[in-house]
């Protein structure tokens, strides 16, 4: 990563057709593949697909979708945003990604995390009281599988492994693995302890408030004798032809998403003023290519990250608008960000 990497993330939001009706999930999944193929053709560096098990998101098995994308692309790196490791088996997750990595010639990059939703716990028979232990143990096992040909491991949340080999093994180049972190010091230290890469999920407020976590990461690496890895960040946004167009096009879908989530979590209703304030001063990258590029460049400078991923799909925005956003991001935003960071 000798230059800023710029990627995209999607949860496969169930969107609306021209008549305002929900698009069937099978079509949403095919549309996500087309969006990734377009991103690859534009030179976008990364596509991350989030795992959810809800009626508003179509992607529950991102590795399968990524394999379909791998077969139609040649360079874009293939990741998740995130894989909910707490309610999956680390051995199976490793096997799926080592298979994807082989098929894609080394382009697989899982981002492991606990996710921002909890529906997978009940669905797969896990207890929320084990929230911390599940992730800690599963991440420890996954990290060992990355580095050891034969693994001995014991914990309380899954069966022990004794001199276990897992197939297919990774090629000599290994596989880049990230851990998604929402902003707790303990989570940052966990990433350092397991010698994985830090991906900051910054979905609200000023991005610069995450600088202490970047500093903590580097301090912890120094104390443990780790070589720091490149750090990434993920934030939502939308690119339109102008600031006005982008704000108007994105607003109803952002409002629908936040209204639905707010009802579940007891949040106050989103207002137009709070939406605009988040664009102006927070972590919502909405506007013309120039506006979005300048905001990304400012965040990259403030945090010293090496990768920025734009969550381009939020709420029921139609496929054609998402494709337009991807084109503007790849053709205009990315070259502009690189020019700004190079001092042009």
Torsion angle of the four alpha carbons 66, 69, 70, 71, in this order, in degrees rounded to the nearest 10: 130
Distance CA 87, CA 149 (A): 24
Distance CA 280, CA 269 (A): 19
Secondary structure (3-state) at 208: helix
The pair of three-digit structure tokens given for residue 62, joined into one six-digit string: 């991102």
* pLDDT values of the chain reduced to their tens digit, one per residue, 344 residues: 458 999 999 999 999 887 889 999 999 999 999 999 999 999 999 999 999 999 999 999 999 999 999 999 999 999 999 999 999 999 999 999 999 999 999 999 999 999 889 999 999 999 999 999 999 999 999 999 999 999 999 999 999 999 999 999 999 999 999 999 998 999 999 999 999 999 999 999 999 999 999 999 999 999 999 999 999 999 999 999 999 999 999 999 999 999 999 999 998 889 999 999 999 999 999 999 999 999 999 999 999 999 999 999 999 999 999 999 999 999 999 999 999 999 85
Distance CA 255, CA 258 (A): 5
- Element housing 291 (H / E): helix 289-303
* pTM of the entire predicted model: 0.97
How would you classify residue 178: left for phi > 0, otherwise alpha for psi between -120 and 50, otherwise beta?
beta
Q: Which domains does the chain have, with CATH numbers?
A: 5-341 (3.20.20.30)
pLDDT of residue 344: 59
pLDDT of residue 1: 46
């Amino acid at each position: 990563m000798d230059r800023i990497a710029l990627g995209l993330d999607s949860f496969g939001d169930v969107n609306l057709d021209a008549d305002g009706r929900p698009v069937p999930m099978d079509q949403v999944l095919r549309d996500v593949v087309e969006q990734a193929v377009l991103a690859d053709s534009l030179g976008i560096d990364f596509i991350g697909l989030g795992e959810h098990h809800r009626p508003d998101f179509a992607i529950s098995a991102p590795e399968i979708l990524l394999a379909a994308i791998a077969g139609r692309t040649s360079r874009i790196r293939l990741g998740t945003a995130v894989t909910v490791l707490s309610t999956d088996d680390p051995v199976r997750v490793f096997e799926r990604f080592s298979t994807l990595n082989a098929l894609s010639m080394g382009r697989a990059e899982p981002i492991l995390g606990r996710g921002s939703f909890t529906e997978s716990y009940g669905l797969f028979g896990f207890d929320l009281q084990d929230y911390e232990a599940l992730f800690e143990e599963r991440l420890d096992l996954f990290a060992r599988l990355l580095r050891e040909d034969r693994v001995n491991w014991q914990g309380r949340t899954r069966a022990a492994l004794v001199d276990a080999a897992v197939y297919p093994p990774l090629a000599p180049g290994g596989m880049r693995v990230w851990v998604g972190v929402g902003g707790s010091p303990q989570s940052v230290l966990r990433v350092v302890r397991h010698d994985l890469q830090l991906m900051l999920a910054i979905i609200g407020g000023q991005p610069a408030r995450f600088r202490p976590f970047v500093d903590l990461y580097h301090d912890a690496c120094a104390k443990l004798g780790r070589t720091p890895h490149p750090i990434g960040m993920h934030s939502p946004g939308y690119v339109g032809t102008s600031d006005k167009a982008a704000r108007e096009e994105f607003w109803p879908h952002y409002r629908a998403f936040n209204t639905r989530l707010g009802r579940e979590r007891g949040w106050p209703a989103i207002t137009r003023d709070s939406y605009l304030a988040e664009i102006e001063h927070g972590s919502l990258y909405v506007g013309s290519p120039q506006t979005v590029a300048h905001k990304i460049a400012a965040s990259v400078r403030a945090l010293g990250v090496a990768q920025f991923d734009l969550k381009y799909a939020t709420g029921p925005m139609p496929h054609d608008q998402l494709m337009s956003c991807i084109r503007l991001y790849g053709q205009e935003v990315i070259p502009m960000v690189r020019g700004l960071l190079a001092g042009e």
